[in-house]
């Protein structure tokens, strides 16, 4: 899909849309936008690969449970004004898909911060919502399960087996069709593969 149509689809749903050639370009943009803010970061390999949290912490308060694990950090994150995350998949028709185990990431993209930045590598972009849901379940979730070293069948099968394992990381699947009322959302599409 052309950039122009992608922009039109997401803007039509109330998202701000920007395109970047690289993660580095996107990181520079985000750092230039945020000063003196309280920023929380979701569990995101994309954000980790970009190294943004460290850069933002020079002029902002950054709360990230991947740097300081624990429930206390997750609760502190709920006070943040800004939330940075990626998605498991983006549908070019204008929807975002995230699967969560703890619920912290999906809940903060729905309510709490003034603004959410979604950072999305080209590997996450799917033509439509069914293919985005399929990607989230059969590509992103098995890779995240492997990263988290949980004992779930998708780790060996390489696709979702709709398990009932105690370690099941798929507890909620959220489709963001429009930003929640009272919340700004910016979608940053990056012409690079980033995250899972
Ligand atoms: S439901 Fe279970 S098998 Fe399917 S992706 Fe999630 S953790 Fe893996």
List pLDDT tens digits, range 65-122.
Answer: 999 999 999 999 999 999 999 999 999 999 999 999 999 999 999 999 999 999 999 9
Q: In whole angstroms, what is the distance from residue 80 CA to residue 39 CA?
A: 5
> What's the 131 CA to ligand 1 centre distance in angstroms?
17
Q: Which tokens sit at 36? A: 């003196």
CATH superfamily, with its number, for domain 3-190: NagB/RpiA/CoA transferase-like (3.40.50.10420)
pTM reported for the whole predicted model = 0.96
Side-chain half-sphere exposure of 177, counting CA atoms within 13 A: 0
In SS3 terms, 22-59 reads as CHHHHHHHHHHHCCCCEEEECCCHHHHHHCHHHHHCCC
Q: Is the CB of 121 under 6 A from ligand 1?
A: no
For residue 99, give the ligand 1 atom closest to its CA: 6
Q: Which of 135, 43, 24, 22 is nearest to 86 (CA)?
A: 43
Determine the distance separating the centroid of ligand 1 and the alpha carbon of 175, expressed in angstroms.
17
Mean pLDDT of 118-130: 98
The answer to whether the CB of 133 is under 6 A from ligand 1 is no
């Amino acid at each position: 899909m052309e950039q122009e149509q992608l922009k039109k689809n997401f803007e039509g749903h109330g998202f701000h849309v920007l395109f970047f050639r690289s993660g580095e370009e996107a990181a520079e943009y985000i750092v230039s936008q945020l000063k003196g803010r309280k920023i929380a970061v979701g569990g995101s390999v994309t954000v980790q690969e970009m190294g943004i949290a460290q850069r933002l912490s020079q002029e902002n308060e950054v709360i990230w449970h991947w740097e300081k694990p624990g429930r206390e950090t997750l609760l502190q994150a709920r006070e943040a004004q800004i939330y940075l995350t990626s998605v498991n998949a983006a549908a070019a028709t204008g929807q975002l898909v995230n699967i969560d185990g703890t619920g912290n990431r999906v809940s903060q993209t729905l309510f709490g911060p003034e603004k959410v930045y979604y950072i999305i590598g080209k590997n996450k972009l799917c033509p439509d919502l069914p293919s985005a849901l399929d990607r989230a379940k059969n590509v992103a979730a098995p890779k995240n399960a492997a990263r988290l070293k949980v004992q779930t069948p998708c780790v060996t099968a390489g696709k979702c087996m709709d398990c009932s394992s105690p370690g099941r990381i798929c507890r909620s699947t959220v489709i963001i069709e429009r930003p929640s009322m009272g919340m700004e959302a910016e979608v940053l599409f990056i012409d690079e593969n980033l995250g899972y």
